[in-house]
A and B are shown apart, each in its own frame.
Chain A
Amino acid sequence: MKTNTMSYKCRQFLMFAGVTTAVFVAVVIVPFLYGIYLTLTSWDGVSKQKPFVGLANYVATFSDGAYWQAMGRTFLYSVIAVILVNVVAFILAFLVTSGVKGQNFFRAGFFTPNLIGGIVLGYIWKFVFNRAFVALGNTFSVGALSTSWLATTGGAMLCLIIVSVWQYAGYMMLIYVAGFMSVSEDVLEAARIDGCTDSQSIVYVSVPLMASSFVQCLFLTVTRCFMVYDVNLSLTNGEPFNSSVMAAMHVYNQAFTYKNFGVGQAEALVLFVVCAVVGVLQVYIGKKGEVSA
């Protein structure tokens, strides 16, 4: 059988990748391109007509104060959450690789929040913040706890950050654990013989060798935090007074609540571009810092 004819190649490709290509194009590529077209129309989500409006939606996006407030908030939340997630995850990874008994049990426990969807997690924490913390505050008469944090504007953001750290730290811990494991025993022993203390060998030997773990964790946390929606919906739903509406929620409301599909899509695209630029920049800077043993 000839294997270099065009028809053979076509048949082979279609047989193995035909369905994949069709589904992928239908679900990802076509909506992506169609979405760009939608930003040029003022569609209301119902009517058959999609009037062409040129760049008016982008003008609306850049003059939408609530959108940029949500963006600023998302930025602030992401910076704090990303730092805390990675610090906690790194500490956890260090502790569960330090030869403590039952480390697999601890690893499994810390990872548990990742198994459960954001909606359920948000409601669980809503109960914790609204009832359990308040009860604790009343029992031990701690003033800061006696009213629910979720009811104050700054508090709601703090709650979101706490839940995100709790949710993602276990996952990032697994990546850092893999990083710790990849640092070979020989290098650490050499460092010890040269007189390194434990903390010195972590800072000067393990951490530089684990740079790729850091790049990866930072990328994952940045993209996840920027696009946060589920926990935002179930934990605060933007309350109080729309003070905790994140960018993704603003986009959702713009399109599906206020029926401004064109503006919503334009705002989604801008959010995506900002997120992609931050993510790529972070990876680019991180890659420069990588070393090999």
Chain B
Amino acid sequence: MNANERAARNKKINHAIKIFILIALFVCFIFPFVLVVINVFKTKADITSDPLALVGAHGFTMANFPEAMKKMNFGRSFFNSAVITICSTVFTILLSSMTAFVIVRNNWKICGALMGLMIASMVIPFQVLMIPMVSLYGGVLGILNHRATLIFMHVGFSLSMATFMFHGAIKTNVPIALEEAATIDGCTRWQTYWQIVFPLLKSTVATVAIIDAMGFWNDYLLPSLVLTKKELYTIPIATQVFYGTYSTDIGLVMAALLLAMLPILILYVLLQRYIVEGVTSGAVK
């Protein structure tokens, strides 16, 4: 009895320690975000004199937002980022799932060769390709500074990983008997794919969409090399350029940083479960 009581008490203490450590770590993790949020409503002078105060001496101000929005051309860059992210994600999913289908269902030599090449290419980091890309697409073809070029490149880089994931999904989740039944009913391979196979891939589509869209939205290096005109800037480039110009105007910087984070944070609050699940299943594969 006594031993049991002691064990129960130890368990409670252990539990309390765990919660304490967890909360402490959690505070450390969100501390930078909280700082941005409390400082965004202060004037420049208040931020400089005390960045830790909840409310500045000059009170609460919303003035940082409209000015930062105008100076970083937020609407324009948001539009660019959205168009590029959505188009790249859609094309990646359509192309890679179709490719995975033909590779899984046929043991032709060319299918094996393509899959092998794609898997091998996944180890190549972008830094190895950026210089030849700029020289080929900029110097030889002269097609930089178009959103379409960036979408084309985004798709090209993400195809290998996406095809690999759809490959696994089709192999394990799509029963071949279903396809045979469709063929007997008179479907062509094309119809079979779109009407039978693709609808069965929903969860993989969600995973690939989440992982790739996040990557495209936050990408900086590739867009900064492809898009050098002001009206084509995406949000990460606009943030970087803005910081370079107004880094001393700290109130505006806070507003710009919050604006850059806001779209994805809102989406995260709404789709949190799907995002966490998608990223996990994407990483564990």
A interface list, Cβ under 8 A from B: 9, 12-13, 15-17, 19-21, 23-24, 26-32, 34-35, 38, 43, 45, 91-92, 95-96, 98, 100, 104, 106-120, 123-125, 127-128, 131-132, 135-136, 139, 166, 170-171, 174-175, 177-178, 198, 216, 220, 223, 226-227, 229-230, 233-234, 248, 251-252, 255-256, 261, 264-265, 268-269, 271-272, 275-276, 279
Contacts and interface: CB of A to CB of B under 8 A. Distances in A.
B128 interface: yes
A256 B102 CA distance: 41
A272 B127 contact: yes
A135 B52 contact: yes
Contacts of A269: 128
Contacts of B89: none
B279 A174 contact: yes
B102 A13 contact: yes
A20 B98 contact: yes
A118 to B, nearest CB: 7
B57 to A, nearest CB: 14
Given A13-B102, A23-B152, A123-B243, A95 B254 contact: no
7 contacts: A13-B108, A16-B101, A28-B157, A32-B129, A117-B236, A256-B225, A269-B128
Given A111-B279, A229-B221, A264 B131 contact: yes
Interface residues of chain B: helix, strand, loop or mixed (majority): helix
Contacts of A12: 102, 106, 189
B279 to A, nearest CB: 6
Contacts of A119: 220, 236, 239-240
Given A27-B157, A35-B129, A230-B220, A127 B136 contact: no
Contacts of B250: 127, 131
Given A12-B106, A117-B217, A135-B51, A123 B132 contact: no
Contact of B156 (A26, A96, A107, A171): A26
A187 B174 CA distance: 32
Interface of B: 14-15, 18-19, 21-22, 25-26, 28-33, 35-36, 39, 47-48, 50-52, 95-96, 98-99, 101-103, 106, 108, 110-111, 114, 117-118, 121, 123-136, 139, 152-153, 155-157, 159-160, 163, 189-190, 193, 214, 217-221, 225, 236, 239-240, 243, 250, 253-254, 257, 260-261, 264-265, 268, 272-273, 275-276, 279-280, 283-284
Contacts of B133: 27, 31
Contacts of A114: 214, 279
Contact of B21 (A13, A95, A220, A279): A95
